[in-house]
Structure 1
Amino acid sequence: MMMTDPLADMLTRIRNAIMMRHEQVTMPHSRFKESVLKVLKKEGFVVDFETVGSGTKKALVVALKYATDGTAAITNIRKVSKPGRRFFGGYQELKPFRGGLGVRILTTSKGVVSEAEARNQKLGGEILVEVW
């Protein structure tokens, strides 16, 4: 069966793993998911991720980040732009999310970037994810 929204599936897997206090979570691999995870790692929301397997059986293993007291680095993660309703923003419209404590992830003509990078490079695009 084909998945209609692989990014939403990835976010749900991460959200569920955090609720259950798992150290890592495994999901099917795609280059798009990998690029979103690169931004999450760069922004400090996940420890690391790696690709395991080969061919059509590739998977992503994501190491989730927790503080010493056990609280997760990701308080909430949600998909903004959905298949039925897309959200786009120009770089002038991209203000710091949650007072700079959260991050929006966008897909632009230059690839998947955080909103801060999009503002610096003067790029607009589709707002995919909000993380805080």
Structure 2
Amino acid sequence: MISRKGYYEKTRSYYMHHDTISAILVGIKNASLRKKHIVRLPYNSMTSKIAKILQEEGLINHWKESINKEGRKSIYITLQYQTKKKISAITDLKRASKLGVRLYVNYTDIPQILGGLGISILSTSQGIMSDKQAKKQGLGGEILCYIW
């Protein structure tokens, strides 16, 4: 029989392994709602690319890769807050393409989030990039998520 803690750890790692983007979004959203400054996420190339885009767009302060004692890589993301009341620069995050239903768009059909205040992150033939970069390069692709 598996203890409840063991069951939780197994199911948690299962979901993080199979839907990396949702794990990233949920981790950032939960930290933002709890007014935490730093989020630790498991490392993979998708996480680092999304963190880089968020930093370029001014939604996070910075991020860094780190290796713990067991040799596992993690990414630490420092969230950005405005004013002393800790109002997060990230209001909400939403997964666009899901595991069962993918959302593909041409570069002319990339949606504008909140009149340009938010961003979309796309997976294109040239890699993962923001909606602004994709439009500039004339690339469409799979919309991974919306952030505003």
User: TM class, shorter-chain normalised?
Assistant: over 0.9
Aligned to 1:111: 127
Unmatched 5+ residue regions in structure 2? 1-9
The runs of 5 or more residues in structure 1 that have no matched partner are none
Aligned length: 132
The corresponding residue for 1:11 is 25
Residues 20 and 46, structure 2, Cα contact 8 Å, conserved in 1: no
Q: Percent identity, aligned pairs only?
A: 32
| Equivalent position to 1:64, from 63, 79, 91 | 79
Relative CO higher for 1 or 2, CA cutoff 8 Å, sep ≥ 6?
1
Question: Which stretch shows the higher mean deviation, 51-60 or 118-127?
Answer: 51-60
TM-score normalised by structure 2 residue count: 0.85
State the partner residue of 1:34.
48
- Output one character per residue of 1:67-123: Cα deviation in whole Å (capped at 9) or x when no partner: 023100000011100101100110011142210111000010111111111111000
| Greater helix fraction, Structure 1 or Structure 2 | 2
Per the alignment, residue 123 of structure 1 pairs with 139
CA contact (8 A) 2:96 2:146 kept: yes
Match of 2:112 in 1: 96
Normalised TM-score (structure 1): 0.95
**In structure 1, distance between residues paired with 2:76 and 2:111:** 32
Secondary structure in structure 1 of the residue aligned to 2:122: strand
**Residue 24 in structure 1 maps to residue 13 in structure 2:** no
**Which letter does structure 2 place at the counterpart of 1:96?**
Q
Q: Is the 8 A contact 2:32 2:88 kept in 1?
A: yes
For residue 56 of structure 1, report the CA deviation from its aligned partner. Answer: 5.3
Max Rg structure: 2
CA spacing shift, 1:16–1:95, aligned 2, 3 Å: closer
CA contact 2:53–2:129 (8 Å) conserved in 1:
yes
Spell out structure 1 runs of 4+ moving beyond 4 A.
Answer: none
Aligned to 1:27, the other structure's residue is in SS state: strand
